[in-house]
Amino acid sequence: MLIRSPEEMYNYWKSLSKKNKVLLLKWELWAWKTTLIKWFAEWLWINPEKVQSPTYAYVNIYDDKLLHIDMYRLSSYDELIEKGILNQISDFDNVVIEWPKWENELDLEDPLIIQIDKISAQDREVSEK
């Protein structure tokens, strides 16, 4: 699906089944990822202004309702365990994982995998699995 603006991304997000509580987000940089995560937070009645990228912290928790993980800088599955991130995943019903790695080992229930590719300054190609 071709998306040409943040507004179209919002409409895409609204069309997704809300039964998916675990999102695995695969994308390039500047793909409106924070915007999508803010809408997920808003759907959970979390102030979207709280949402920030956890690139250096690895994990952000919003109102004890949403676990937001960025695996980009993790180099191994063992590091995921050593930092306690794997244990946190099972503590939350709603989880967003950016740059998911080792997804088969994470034992996630019914994750929605969203791939976003930046086509141009205004266009994104979105697919889901």
pLDDT tens-place string over residues 46-100: 999 999 888 888 999 999 999 999 999 999 999 999 999 999 998 998 999 998 9
Q: What is the pTM of this model?
A: 0.85
Residue 33 has pLDDT above 80, yes or no: no
CATH code, 2-15+22-128: 3.40.50.300
Q: What is the structure's pLDDT at 1?
A: 87
Q: How is the chain split into domains, by residue range?
A: 2-15+22-128
Query: For residue 65, what are the contacts with CB-CB under 8 A and spacing of at least 6?
Result: 44, 45, 46, 92, 93, 94
Token code pair at residue 100: 């998911």
Cα 52–Cα 87–Cα 24 angle in degrees, nearest 5 = 50
Amino acid symbol at 1? M
Q: What is the mean pLDDT of residues 114-129?
A: 84
